[in-house]
């Protein structure tokens, strides 16, 4: 008997040793679960939510800054367009000035020819006058006497003498007129030269203005590119922040899934007299293009302003305006079950609030992508939308 007991004790010791050894092996092979450890700290969810709120605030600030950059970009484009118009106008003015200079050059050259011709006429007339004066000088008193003697009478002689004097006076007057014409032409030529120089100066000034505008254009173009780079940087920052926010959201969802289901039966989320389902869960014809042909909820018709009730108790996971959903409330019931109430006219709860089954959490409306007042009611299990009629009974 003692031998048998001794044998049993030996087997027990061996079994215990094996159990302990195997247990040590099992415990050594298990790695700590991060989410489980986080749940050990009841403040961790709150910290993550605060971090998410801070990120969302930064996202909003980034959006505001992005919109400001968009406005500046638009202003800069208008400024560049204005400068471009000014440059084109300046180019047109320079081209017109060049045409005016060309025309003025032609006028100057024409006037030079006129001055030269007048100068030749003066010189020719001076030569002719000198010849005539030399002839008259040689002719002298004897010449006048011969004219008188050869004339038929005294009247004829005086007439001839008057004609000679007239020709001499005419030559002198013509010479003075030609000289005066030459002076006038020279003055006109000088005026044209001055006008041409003024046009040249104007062209130089216009060219400098054009170059200044081009420099301004290049400077504003650099600023526009900088604004565009800022916009791209802000867009990248927003995407990174949204990704981080999404990561935290997923972490929070996973952490909250670990909570026990609150238990109980879901109730109809509206007053019982509002029980007409206008769109069931599953495939449907899109009521609004782009709203999705697969309906992940049920739509319940009800007038604007009527109460929306929490189908089950839990924590408000979200209470905000979501693009397609409009005013939306999400309630976390634990165990991975979440209900969603969309298109509300007004939200009556805030994120983080705790509600009981039947509490009024919002009012019926038609916000977001909606064709009329109704309640869009979803049930999600571990993030996947399921048919709500599997959880609530239609009155």
What are the strands, taking DSSP E only, across the chain?
277-279, 282-283, 294-295, 298-301, 307-309, 314-322, 326-332, 337-344, 346-347, 354-355, 360-363, 374-381, 384-386
**Nearest-CA neighbor of 33 among 351, 251, 212?**
251
Would 43 be classed as within a structural domain?
A: no
Which pLDDT score, from 0 to 100, does residue 270 have?
98
pLDDT at 333 (0 to 100): 92
Does 214 fall in a domain?
yes
Last residue of a domain, one of 238, 269, 301: 238
262: in domain: no
CB atoms within 10 A of CB 360: 13
- Answer whether residue 54 shows pLDDT above 60: yes
Mean pLDDT confidence for 283-297: 60
pTM equals 0.42
Alpha-carbon distance of 379 to 298, in angstroms, equals 9
d(C-alpha 306, C-alpha 313), whole Å: 20
- Higher-scoring residue by pLDDT: 181, 330: 330
Average pLDDT, the chain: 76
136 and 168 share one domain: yes
Q: Dig out the tokens for 52 from the structure.
A: 């998410």
Is there a single domain that holds both residue 89 and residue 229? yes
Last residue of a domain, one of 191, 218, 238: 238
Residue 322's CATH number: 2.70.70.10
Residue 331, Ramachandran bin (φ over 0: left; ψ between -120 and 50: alpha; else beta): beta
pLDDT in tens, 337-357: 999 999 999 999 999 899 999
Distance between CA atoms of residues 16 and 18, nearest Å: 5
- Whether 136 maps to a domain, the answer reads yes
218 with 70, same domain? yes
Which pLDDT band holds residue 165 (cuts at 50, 70, 90)?
low
Confirm if 311 and 269 have CB atoms less than 8 A apart. Answer: yes
281 inside domain: yes
State how far the Cα of 269 lies from the Cα of 289, in Å rounded to an integer. Answer: 27
Q: Please tell me whether residue 361 adopts helix, strand or coil conformation.
A: strand
What is the pLDDT at residue 184? 79
Burial of 301 (0-12, 13-18, 19+ CB in 10 A): middle
**Are 313 and 182 contained in the same domain?**
no
Q: Name which of 282, 258, 324, 297 is nearest 388 in CA terms.
A: 297
Note whether residue 336 is domain-resident: yes
Report whether 377 contacts 388 (CB < 8 A). yes
CATH of residue 154's domain is: 1.10.287
For 342, the 3-state DSSP assignment is strand
Q: Do 193 and 301 fall into the same domain?
A: no
pLDDT tops 50 at residue 106: yes
> Quick count: other Cβ atoms within 10 Å of Cβ 195?
15
Tell me what percent of the residues of the chain surpass a pLDDT of 90.
25
Has residue 84 been placed in a domain?
Answer: yes
Residue 14 banded pLDDT, cuts 50, 70, 90: very low
95 with 198, same domain: the answer is yes
Do 164 and 87 lie in one domain? The reply is yes
Q: Per-residue pLDDT for 84 more than 60? A: yes
Span 202-223, pLDDT tens digits? 888 888 888 888 898 888 889 8
Q: What is the pLDDT of residues 310-326, one digit of tens each?
A: 999 999 989 999 878 99
Clarify whether residues 15 and 70 are in a common domain.
no
Q: Which residue has the higher pLDDT, 286 or 388?
A: 388
- The HSE-up count of residue 379 (CA atoms within 13 Å, CB side) is 22
The verdict on residue 260 lying in a domain is: no
Domain count, the chain: 3
Domain with 381 in it: 277-390
**Cβ atoms of residues 83 and 216 within 8 Å:** yes
Angle at the Cα of 287 from the Cα atoms of 291 and 321, rounded to 5 degrees: 45
Residues 228 and 318 in one domain: no
Predicted local distance difference test score (pLDDT) of residue 221: 86
CA distance linking residue 269 with residue 172, whole number of Å: 124
pLDDT at site 25? 30
Q: Which residues sit opposite 374 in a β-bridge?
A: 301, 365
6, 105: one domain: no
Question: Which DSSP state fits 335?
Answer: T
Closest to 302 measured CA to CA, from 325, 274, 329, 269: 274
pLDDT score of 123: 73
Contact 48, 251 (CB under 8 A): yes
Q: Which of 182, 179, 195 is nearest to 106 (CA)?
A: 195
For residues 17 and 63, state if they share a domain: no
Q: Which residue, 87, 170, 157, is CA-closest to 128?
A: 170
């Amino acid at each position: 008997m003692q031998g048998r007991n001794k044998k049993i004790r030996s087997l027990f010791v061996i079994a215990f040793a094996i159990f302990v050894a195997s247990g040590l092996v099992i415990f050594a092979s298990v790695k700590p679960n991060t989410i489980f450890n986080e749940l050990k700290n009841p403040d961790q969810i709150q910290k993550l939510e605060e971090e998410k709120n801070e990120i969302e605030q930064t996202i909003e600030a980034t959006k505001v800054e992005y919109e400001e950059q968009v406005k500046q970009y638009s202003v800069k484009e208008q400024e560049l367009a204005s400068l471009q118009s000014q440059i084109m106008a300046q180019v047109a003015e320079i081209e017109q000035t060049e045409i005016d200079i060309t025309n003025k050059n032609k006028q100057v050259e024409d006037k030079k020819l006129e001055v030269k011709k007048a100068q030749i006429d003066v010189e020719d007339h001076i030569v002719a006058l000198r010849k005539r004066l030399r002839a008259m000088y040689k002719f002298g008193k004897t010449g006048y006497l011969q004219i008188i003697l050869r004339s038929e009478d005294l009247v004829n002689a005086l007439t001839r003498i008057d004609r000679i004097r007239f020709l001499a006076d005419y030559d002198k007057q013509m010479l003075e007129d030609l000289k005066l014409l030459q002076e006038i032409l020279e003055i006109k030529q000088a005026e044209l030269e001055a006008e041409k120089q003024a046009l040249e100066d104007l062209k130089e000034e216009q060219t400098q203005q054009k170059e200044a505008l081009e420099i301004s254009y290049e400077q504003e173009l650099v600023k526009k590119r900088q604004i565009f780079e800022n916009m791209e940087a802000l867009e990248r920052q927003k995407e990174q922040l949204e990704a981080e926010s999404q990561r935290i959201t997923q972490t929070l969802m996973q952490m909250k899934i670990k909570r026990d289901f609150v238990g109980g039966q879901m109730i109809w989320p509206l007053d019982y007299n509002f029980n007409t389902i206008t769109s069931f869960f599953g495939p449907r014809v899109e009521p609004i293009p782009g709203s999705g042909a697969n309906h992940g909820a049920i739509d319940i018709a009800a007038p604007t302003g009527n109460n929306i009730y929490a189908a089950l108790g839990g924590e408000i996971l979200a209470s905000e305006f979501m693009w397609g959903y409009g005013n939306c409330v999400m309630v976390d019931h634990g165990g991975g079950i979440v209900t969603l109430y969309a298109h509300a006219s007004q939200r009556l709860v805030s994120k983080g609030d705790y509600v009981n089954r039947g509490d009024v959490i919002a009012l019926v409306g038609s916000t977001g992508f909606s064709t009329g007042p109704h309640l869009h009611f979803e049930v999600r299990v571990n993030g996947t939308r399921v048919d709500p009629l599997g959880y609530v009974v239609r009155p």
